[in-house]
Chain A
Amino acid sequence: MAEVPAKLEKGGSWVTSRIDIGNDGIVLKDPWNVTVSYRSIVDLQKRGQMITLLVSMPDKTERPYKIASVEKVLTIVTKKIIMACNAYRIMAHFMSPAIRGGVLVTDAKWEKGAIAVLKTGIWFVSQDKQISVPLKEVASLELTKRELQKKKLDVIKIDHLEGGEVVTSFILCPLSTLQVLYNFLRDATKDMDMKGSELDQLDAQTAQVAMLIYSGMDTKSIENMLSLPPEELNAIYETLLKLKLVDVVMVRKEVQLTPKGVRYITDALKPPS
């Protein structure tokens, strides 16, 4: 057991405490004073200097525990949990991030480690890296091929959103395992699949608008680039909104001057007397 300092949350309050990191579980001291076995952990989320464990209780309910600590401690705890928690897990190679916003990451390399699919996210853990991809941020999954040491090997390509950027990662492992992992991930993210009836509503122009939104163009730029009147673009936005392909981030106003406004401008432009 290794005892390390940490802050533990209970009822909205944080208590300066300690945790014991063991081989089979983790002991959360004051205010919880509980032993959590790694096998009972069904989910792990990391946000900044804090992790949240979701623990399956004997009465079938799930209880969250929040731990805040320094990065070094969280890295050790995270690795222990990912390698032993209740999740679908395989040993594999991964490259993450490989592409960011459409630009190849120059120092991207294959890392040897474990891939674990938990309740709300996919974790990549190697000697040097710990990366989590929330399932709700997974934009697309594809079984494809990638050249490695002059051989074309089967890989899973995952596109996911990270702070508004589209990030691409790759997973490499034996094909039989890869297929199982792919099916598992497809199933875990099936809510994102487009239905045939939804695809029917997307014509070529709507797809072009979606592509321009992806590239970061604003409404005015899209109108100019596609020579679209505002009403037509609004109708396309409505289709995209209805299909949950976009969110409204800002409502812009078009205004015109009132008589009072015209008087103000006229007065403002008069030369000083």
Chain B
Amino acid sequence: MGRILIVDDTLFMRTLLKNILSSGGHEIVGEAEDGDIGVTKYRELKPDLVTMDVVMPKMNGIEALKAIKALDANAKVIMCTAVGQEQMVKLAIKSGARGYIVKPFQAPKVLEEIGNVLGA
């Protein structure tokens, strides 16, 4: 089980992810509504894993991912994006993302992916 930081600009998606991850026994150590706050919270909280939305105001998910990787090269970040933005996958993976979740998603698969990344 891991300590997880959720970064997403919509309250609905944050609540959904929080619910799914809590049901899988994970601890939600923090939430952030944009990439900038996400990076700050990563520095403060040192979570085991971050779920990161791609399209966000101020700092987007890819920029936030790069900033987090600059702080901690071993950071485990899973990107989360809407259908039709799958072309971002390569860029995210190249930037150090450990996994990719496409919205809408299903709870068991999300937990499986999180478990795989935390166990890796």
Contact = CB atoms under 8 A, between A and B. Distances in A.
Contact of A104 (B84, B102, B104): B102
A166 to B, nearest CB: 6
Size range of the chain A interface in the assembly: 20 to 34
B86 A102 contact: no
Contacts of B89: 104
Interface stretch (A14-22, A82-90, A215-223, A253-261): A215-223
B107 A215 contact: yes
Interface string B1-31: 0000000000010011001100100000000
Nearest to A145: B87
A165 B106 contact: yes
A169 to B, nearest CB: 13
Nearest to B93: A104
B114 to A, nearest CB: 10
Contacts, number: 69
A103 B109 contact: yes
Interface string B79-120: 000001011011000000001111111111110110000000
Secondary structure at the B interface, as helix, strand, loop or mixed, is helix
Given A166-B106, A215-B107, A216-B108, A102 B101 contact: yes
Interface stretch (A44-52, A120-128, A130-138, A206-214): A206-214
Contacts of A214: 104, 106
A225 B18 CA distance: 10
A102 B104 contact: yes
A211 B101 CA distance: 15
A225 B86 contact: no
Interface of B: 12, 15-16, 19-20, 23, 84, 86-87, 89-90, 99-110, 112-113
What 10 pairs between A and B have smallest CB-CB spacing?
A102-B105, A101-B109, A216-B107, A101-B106, A103-B109, A103-B113, A104-B100, A102-B102, A147-B87, A214-B104
Interface of A: 99-104, 144-147, 152, 165-166, 168, 208, 211-212, 214-217, 221, 225
7 contacts: A103-B102, A103-B110, A104-B86, A165-B106, A211-B104, A217-B16, A221-B23
